[in-house]
Amino acid sequence: MGENADSERIAKRIARAGVASRRGAEAMIAEGRVAVNGRVIDSPALNVGAADAITVDGKPLTAPEAARLWRYYKPIGLVTSEADEKGRETVFAHLPEDLPRVLSVGRLDITSEGLLLLTNDGALKRRLELPSTGWVRKYRVRAKGTPIDAALEPLRKGMTVDGERFAPMAVAIDRQQGANVWLTLGLREGRNREVRRALETVGLSVNRLIRISYGPFQLGDLEPGGVEEVRAKVLRDQLGIGAAKPPDAPRKPAARRRSGPVRP
């Protein structure tokens, strides 16, 4: 044990092996369920190296899993958290049973739908969430109102809502459909309910919000509830990750596919 170029915190090692989140691993350590080189530890303030033997509940810790990424169509009505204090249904309770333990990249609120990226790797999650990636998140939005293009200019310039500064957005009117307008919006940061709050400021009430892309990753023709793993080649090309997908890992959506899920 000790610090060197290959060492890392014990809780991080446990999380990378897919046993629990880093916080969950810290709880396991506090409960005396983790041993390093035959000695039970009670503090997560420990660095371990590749040669250290780690057991959790008496079982050897497996090698860290390769970083993997999935596209998921989050349906309306699910919250993006592992447990909800209000007892609402969560995304993670509705994922296919053969999916490994995953983390969400960012969030979509309970009334929003569309593309949610999932990963088994905490470091990749944090990397994809950083604003410095410069990746645009695109949304199809249906809102009540009949705006002219000039009315959307404040969104393009950036605005302050309830004391919070929103960066400029790309926004275009796609079509007017009765009392509703369909828009496409693009933004580089995803603040809490940002799209809804920004559109309310210019007099539009959102009644459907679908995320259609997150950087280079597209919702495509996934059906609500559908999951599909991003191919290893795409991870290499887009992220420089050389992880190989296990040959028997399922890639097809859990749900039936359909074309054009975001058409008005």
CATH code of 124's domain: 3.30.70.580
74 and 39 housed in the same domain: no
Q: Which residue in this structure is represented by tokens 């249904």? A: 89
List the catalytic residue out of 109, 121, 221, 248.
Answer: 109
User: pLDDT value at position 65?
Assistant: 76
Pairing type for strands 227-229 and 103-105 reads unpaired
User: pLDDT value at position 3?
Assistant: 52
Active site residue 98: no
191 and 226 housed in the same domain: no
219 and 205 housed in the same domain: no
Domain that holds residue 114: 69-132+215-239
User: pLDDT value at position 155?
Assistant: 95
User: pLDDT value at position 4?
Assistant: 53
The CA–CA distances, whole Å, from 122 to 66, 104, 263 equal 11, 9, 34
Tell me the helix, strand and coil percentages in the chain, rounded to 5. Answer: 20, 30, 50
User: pLDDT value at position 1?
Assistant: 56
- Model's pTM, two decimal places? 0.75
**Taking a C-beta distance cutoff of 8 angstroms, is the pair 20, 54 a contact?**
no
Neighbours of 182 (CB within 10 A): 18
124 and 230 housed in the same domain: yes
pLDDT < 50: residue spans in the chain:
243-264
Dmax over CA atoms of the chain, in Å, equals 69
Provide the domain count of the chain: 3
The pLDDT tens digits of the residues spanning 242-254 come to 644 444 444 444 4
User: pLDDT value at position 6?
Assistant: 65
Return the structure tokens found at 97.
């049973």
User: pLDDT value at position 261?
Assistant: 43
First to last CA, the chain: 58
